[in-house]
Structures are given as C-alpha cells and as structure tokens.
Structure 1
C-alpha cells in the first residue's frame, strides 16, 4: 500500500482557501476544522490513505470497521470570492517520512485546484490552564503577517519553542516552495485536555480573515462543559493536597 488520494467527487471551486485541522495539541485544529465542516455543510470529496497512519481501524457506531484516513471536504460559499477546502482526519503520521508524504498529497490537491492561501490550525502547549488563551501565528515567506497582527494574532520569538511539528508546520514550509501563502494559527492550551475554548477563539479570527460568518455556539457549549470538568479536577486536586500526609508509622502498612 502506498499513500494515495481516493477521489469521491470532482472538485470544482472558485479560488479556494485550504484549511487544515488534523489532530494535535489540545485537538484545537481538529475541533475547529470539523466544526467548519458542519457549519459550512461541506461535502466530502476525497480521502487520503497511507501506511504511515496508525495501523488500526475505526469501529463505527454500526459495528463496521474502516481504515483510519484523512478526509478532504469542500464547500462553495455564496457571495464570497473564495470557496473552501477542509482537511480533517483521524490521525497524523506515526513516522517522519509519512508527515512529508501526506503533506505532499495535500499540496497536490492544493496546486491542482489553484488554492490561494493555506491556513493550518494547531495548539501551543503552555502546561497551564488559561481562561483567556492567546492566539499565536507563524507564516511562510509568501504570507504577510501584518494581516494577522491586525486581528490580534501574536508573533513572539521562541513561540512555539521547537517549531511546528506535523502537517500544520510542513504545509507552511513545503507550501513556501510552491509559492503558496500559508500561515498557522495556534491557540494557547494546557496540552492536557481537549480545548474547545481555544478552538473557538481561533475560529473567530479565521472567520474574520475569510469574511464569513461562523456560528460557534456548539463549541461554546463544549467549552462550558469542559470548564466544569476542569473545575472539578482542580477541586479534587486541592482536596488531596489538604489531606494529611502519612507519617512514618503509617508507612509500615504500605507494600
């Protein structure tokens, strides 16, 4: 088996923008891109299969198993100068070579369809919970970062530390070689949990950049549910910290 694209329908779009949201830190990209698929009523037009994806199948609700895959959705936007291609999926590559190979396949779709700009979405792990996550950016040589700075996106030296791993980063680097303007929007997140609040904030900026309206109510509801979970975890941690520590006498009963 080789990495290949399985086309389900013909792609015929007007000056499309490509948005990638594969699984990553805080699942911010996955949450945001899948939310866009639903909100824009996008149609699945292609699938990417690769031996570099995890060696497993997904068992669906009806009990039928399918190979893990990356999915390509498209949406035609009325009264908008750009249509949209959305890249979502079950996993990213488990090997370095696979990251490059899968990204090249995504870029094949981009070049074949005259993609104007690439937006990738990821998370920036801070190790701490934040009620007001910041959004950080990175761009390749062909994307003017001033456009993002005007929307409140931050660019700071050393962030993200160590660079951007996976498709979210490679689409900028390899896209640069193909002279496609590309940028990555990274929402701050603890890195410990799925973070719909940060995904929601990224989507607000993205909607302004694309000049489209996106209803983020469902993500807001998920964010509120997650806040309740986090609050309970914090309370439990505090209670455990307040409990008396075992003395030397108590330790003789352990093990």
Structure 2
C-alpha cells in the first residue's frame, strides 16, 4: 500500500520546500541531496512506501536498524525536506511512484524542487543550469534568477513523471536541469545545482566547499552505484534534448 510513514511526529513543517534526489545522469540529484542532508544535519523524518519502489531493505554501518531505500529527511528550522534514494527506479514504475508522492505533496502543501542532469561532455566552462516550472513555479525561478532553457527537451524517469503529475494538476513546482557528465558521478554539477538553484529557491545557505575539495572521493564513493544503474539499464531520471523538427 502506498504511504508515507512519518517517524518523528515532533517535526513541524508548514509549507516545506522539498528537494528531490532520485539518482540520474551524473547522480547530480542524489549527490546534491545527500550533501544537503549532511550539511544541514537533517533528521530522518519519514519512510517512503510506494508501489513501484524495489522491495529491498537498507542497513547502515554500525547500525542494525533496517529502513526503506527511499526516505525523507527534514530540517524544520528551514522548513526543508529532502528525498534520499538509495535505489534507481525502473522507468516502468515511474508513474506509480509519482502518484504516490504527489498525494503527500498535496496533503502537506509541499513545494517540490525536482533535479535532473543533462548529459554533456565536460568543457572549460562551468556546467550550465536552467529551470522549468508548472503552476506558479516560474515565480520562484524568476526570484532565484535561474535561466530559461536554451533548447527544447524532455525529462524522463521518476523526476519526469513527477513533473508531468504536477503539470496535470497545475501544482506549483520547479525542475532544475544541469549539464552533467554522462558517464560518471559529477560533484561539480551538483554544486552548481545547490548554489545557483536550490539555495536561492529554498532560501538556504549550504556550504559546498566539500563537494569541490572531495570531488574525487565522492566520485569513487558513488561510482559503483552509477555502474549498477548502467548495468541494469534503469537510469532513474535524466533530461535530454528533443532532436526533431518542431
């Protein structure tokens, strides 16, 4: 049964901003979300039980307690929620997962910020970032000075499904798309997501020096995850150009 199981009833959220971290191209969403959880010392707030998520249990070093592979972390002082996923989501399950989470967004009046990587070979310039929106989400992009897309494209995976759900329901939401390494974890692109997108929208101030100083360490830590995704052909979320006449 699809549900969000709250673990800490003492956490008080009003109209939280949610940062979504399903893994995709460059693992940028996951790296950014994991970093924000650690940087802001966010608490494990809820477990996510959605039809379509892999039926697996996760355990941590020095802790015997099992948990779900997709979880919500909260920072009530900043009215911030982060979705952390330890598993890729099969494209065939993306709609089920999106429907499950959208119900919780509606109940809690959550403003979601969806994250996606756009595969690009690395160049001399920093990765470009642009935003898309549904409902009145464009107001948040304008306030944060996030640029509009410079080409047509689409977002797939659970991130794309959640954006499509927001579009259908005319819910306020934004999607941030950042140019990312198409083959390897990309901490630099994740840093751009945080500094130029998430922080201005959520009103947070997240230290990101560690993402630069420890870039190689982060790549190594996430590399096996990225390889498992590629082997299983279950790229969770990605943006891609529409290469057709329009």
Q: Does TM-score exceed 0.5, indicating one fold?
A: yes
> Is 117-126 or 10-19 further displaced after alignment?
10-19
Report the equivalent of 1:52: 52
RMSD: 2.8
Q: Does residue 125 of structure 1 match 2:119?
A: yes
Structure 1 residues 72 and 144, CA gap change in structure 2 (3 angstroms): same
SS in structure 2 of the partner of residue 144 of structure 1 = helix
Query: Does the 8 A contact of 1:53 with 1:68 survive in 2?
Result: no
Structure 1 residues 85 and 223, CA gap change in structure 2 (3 angstroms): same
Report the equivalent of 1:77: 77
- Aligned partner of 1:93 among 86, 89, 92: 89
Q: Does residue 196 of structure 1 match 2:187?
A: yes
Structure 1 residues 17 and 51, CA gap change in structure 2 (3 angstroms): closer
Provide the rounded CA distance (Å) in 2 between the counterparts of 1:146 and 1:68.
32
Q: Residues 230-253 of structure 1, C-alpha deviation per residue, up to 9 Å, x if partnerless?
A: xxxxxxxxxxxxxxxxxxxxxxxx
Q: TM-score, normalised by structure 1?
A: 0.74
Q: Superposition pairs for residues 83-232 of structure 1, below 5 Å?
A: 83-96=79-92, 98-115=93-110, 117-126=111-120, 128-131=121-124, 132-144=126-138, 147-148=141-142, 151-158=145-152, 160=153, 163-205=154-196, 206-223=198-215
Q: Residues 69-119 of structure 1, C-alpha deviation per residue, up to 9 Å, x if partnerless?
A: 2101111236xxxx11211111232252x212222222222111122x221
The aligned length equals 217
- Tell which structure's C-alpha radius of gyration is larger: 1
Bigger relative contact order (CA 8 A; separation at least 6): 2
CA-CA distance at 1:133 after TM superposition: 0.8
Query: Does the 8 A contact of 1:39 with 1:214 survive in 2?
Result: yes
Provide the rounded CA distance (Å) in 2 between the counterparts of 1:150 and 1:6.
32
Q: TM-score, normalised by structure 2?
A: 0.76
CA-CA distance at 1:59 after TM superposition: 5.6
Structure 1 residues 226 and 18, CA gap change in structure 2 (3 angstroms): closer
Structure 1 runs (4+) greater than 6 angstroms displaced: none
CA-CA distance at 1:51 after TM superposition: 5.7
Structure 1 residues 55 and 13, CA gap change in structure 2 (3 angstroms): closer
Query: Does the 8 A contact of 2:129 with 2:179 survive in 1?
Result: yes
Structure 1 residues 125 and 145, CA gap change in structure 2 (3 angstroms): farther
User: Structure 2: 5+ residue runs without aligned partners?
Assistant: 220-246
Report the equivalent of 1:9: 8
User: Structure 1: 5+ residue runs without aligned partners?
Assistant: 228-255
